[in-house]
Amino acid sequence: MTHENLHGGNSKTVPAAILAVIVVYAVTLLAGWPQKGTADMLAASSHDGPHAESHEAQAVKGQAAVGKAAPLVAPPLWTVIPFALLLLGIAVLPLIPFTEHWWDSNLSRFLVAIGLALVTLAYYAFLHGTTLEGHWPGHHMIEPSGGIPQIHFVRTILENAILAEFIPFIVLLFSLFTISGGIRITGDVQAHPMTNAMFLTVGGLLASFIGTTGAAMLLIRPLLETNQERKRVVHTVVFFIFIVCNCGGCLLPIGDPPLFLGYLQGVHFLWTLVLWREWLFVNGLLIVLYLLLDGLWHYPKEELADVQRDVTQRRRLEITGWQVNVPLLIGVVLAVAMLDPSKPVPGINWHPWMYLREVVQLALVLISLWFGDRKVREANRFNYHAIVEVAALFSGIFITMQPALQILGLRGDELGIDTPAQFFWVTGALSSVLDNAPTYLVFFRTAQAMPSTGPTVAGVDEMILMGISLGAVFMGSMTYIGNGPNFMVRAIAEKSGVKMPSFFGYMVYSCLILLPLFALMMWLYLLFPY
């Protein structure tokens, strides 16, 4: 793949690759493979009842189905070392001068991710000797073959990690990222505190419906253009990261990657709407705090000449590329909501074929690339570097995290975490220094192994699931590495001349502003929810 193909927004390689995937899928339909995959998934679901029972209960049933009643045995604790090393590398390698530039290459990221993934696969090939759970296309149990290497164990791990989780995850992010890249907002309105607050409000709303990545990429450049006459802009970008890149994205599964992983695990598409009170409380107070900070402190300290230039040099906001791409974004939302193979399409008794959801999303991307205005993407400086970075890292993350998921699924009750507030803080604390998507999945599986005391969602106590969801989404804003868009927005701001705070300088903002706000939210809605 050439440099243009990897980084350029106008490459012919990407549309050609998408078209090839669609053609291959059509051939598999003729062979009946996706239809069989859906049938196998539904058969396994009806046998094991995965949405009604705990992870451990499903395992026992699965073993009984193949004549093995002995309980599953968790992998040894040392098997999580590749996962921990990968997450540590993501956090530390960009900060070390010796590795900083080397890590900028997506090839370097992929080599680290796939190298550690191979270590995990080697464990299952040569050292794992007990029954293994499979989750694709449906829940089933795999017994040791007695030979070395255990190729069927490796295949099962790859199916669990790549076919069941990574492909739906990356296709959704790719679709939202690429289609939103075809929309451009231009103009230069007066950079008044209320104007910036409106940007934050609109971004917080859009984040749940086109994803935090899509909303951030759509709005960060016009926000910076609006504030180009001002010198005190850092706090505006920081609040943008708080709201648009993170806290605004908790109302729908497409809003933030952790919630989409929950959706893939069986959480209903519209369940996240129950978080509207927490969403409104946190984002509303953040916008009020921004208005007070900017209106009473920063804006009055701007130089008079800058304010006058800001008032006189104004251009009306214009949106281009929306005619094609807004309907396509709506199409992505509908595809995710209605084409889940484990659920019948609303109104008809038909389960979509396996991967039809992902192919429809890719088809919508293809329409965007073919019929969208190429000049809009060029003006946005659109490229695929950021989404390739996510794909390179998460291909390894989803594989290396498999032992951790199995350990927590079988031994999660030993952690002593059993209240919504505890899950909020532990999930949130790890989401602050690791990526929030795998952190969410780890604690989701942990909660599945616990007995519930109230209503459940996908086998998880509903109040605990609220704590996990809020911790992963909200506290991904605590550091630059908590969520993917954080670093992208920082890089765009710095290229526009905004001197952003360092890694720990940013944490001064987040600790002073976010931690008290999150503590108050937890006290109101998780300790005393009704």
Who has greater pLDDT, 441 or 279?
A: 279
Q: Is the pLDDT of residue 46 over 80?
A: no
Structure tokens that stand for 309 in this block: 């230039």
Question: Residue 67 — pLDDT band, cuts 50, 70, 90?
Answer: very low
Tell me which amino acid residue 417 is.
I
Mean pLDDT of 437-455: 85
- The number of angstroms, rounded, from the C-alpha of 175 to the middle of its chain's C-alpha atoms is 13
235 pLDDT more than 80: yes
Q: What are phi and psi of 460, to 5 degrees?
A: -120, 135
Query: Residues with Cβ < 8 Å from 267, sequence gap 6 or more?
Result: 253, 259, 457, 458, 465
For residue 311, the cross-strand partners are none
Q: Is residue 80's pLDDT more than 60?
A: yes
pLDDT of residue 199: 95
Q: Does the predicted TM-score (pTM) go above 0.85? A: no
* Those residues with Cβ within 8 angstroms of residue 286's Cβ, 6 or more apart along the chain or in another chain: 200, 239, 242, 243, 247, 513, 517
Q: Which of 73-82, 302-311, 396-405 has the lowest mean pLDDT?
A: 302-311
d(C-alpha 19, C-alpha 11), whole Å: 14
pLDDT level of residue 8 (50, 70, 90 thresholds): very low
pLDDT, mean of residues 249-274: 92
Q: Tell me the percentage of the chain whose pLDDT exceeds 90.
A: 53
Angle value at C-alpha 177, between 172 and 179, nearest 5 degrees? 95
Main-chain phi, psi angles of 245, to 5 degrees:
-80, -10
CA distance 7 to 477: 27
Q: How far is CA 55 from CA 51, 195, 382, 426, 460, in A?
A: 9, 48, 42, 20, 9
Q: Return the SS3 of 188.
A: strand
- Listed in sequence order, the residues at least 6 apart from 207 whose beta carbon sits closer than 8 Å to its beta carbon are 215, 216, 243, 244, 245, 248, 249, 255, 256
**pLDDT at 225 (0 to 100):** 86
pLDDT at 51 over 70: no
**154-206 pLDDT tens trace:** 999 999 999 998 999 899 889 988 998 899 988 778 878 999 999 999 999 99
Q: For 44-100, give the secondary structure using H, E and C.
A: HHHHHCCCCCCHHHHHHHHHHHCCCCCCCCCCCHHHHHHHHHHHHHHHHHHHCHHHH
Q: Using DSSP bridges, classify how beta strands 315-320 and 456-457 pair: parallel, antiparallel or unpaired.
A: unpaired
Compute the average pLDDT of residues 491-514: 89
**Other beta carbons within 10 Å of 383:** 17
Helix-helix angle 420-433:503-522, to 10 degrees: 170
116-130, 281-295, 413-427, 506-520, range with the lowest pLDDT: 413-427
The model's confidence at residue 11, banded by pLDDT at 50, 70 and 90, is low
Calculate what percentage of the chain has a pLDDT beyond 70.
Answer: 91
Segment 76-88 shows an average pLDDT of: 92
If you average pLDDT over every residue of the chain, what do you get? 87
- 227 versus 55: the higher-pLDDT residue is 227
**Quick one: pLDDT at residue 4?**
40
Nearest one of 41, 62, 53, 49 to 141, comparing CA atoms: 62
Q: What is the SS3 assignment for 184?
A: strand
Which of 18-27, 187-196, 516-525 has the weakest average pLDDT?
187-196
Q: Which residue has the higher pLDDT, 70 or 281?
A: 281
Kindly tell me if the per-residue pLDDT of 2 is higher than 50: no
Which of 447, 472, 473, 471 is CA-nearest to residue 461? 447
Diameter over CA atoms, the chain: 80
Q: Is 138 left (phi over 0), alpha (psi -120 to 50) or beta?
A: beta
* Helix-strand-coil split of the chain, %, nearest 5: 70, 5, 25
- Which among 449, 56, 459 has a CA at the least distance from the CA of 268? 459
Comparison of pLDDT for 283 and 185, the residue scoring more = 283
Q: Which H or E run contains 14? A: helix 13-31
Q: What is the pLDDT of residue 5?
A: 44
Q: How confident is the model at residue 474 (pLDDT cuts 50, 70, 90)?
A: very high
* Structure-token pair, residue 388: 């390739």
The pLDDT score that the predictor gives to residue 54 is 43
pLDDT at residue 437 is higher than 50 = yes
Least confident of 113-127, 271-285, 406-420, 455-469: 406-420
Band (56; pLDDT cuts 50, 70, 90): very low
Averaged pLDDT, 18-28 = 97
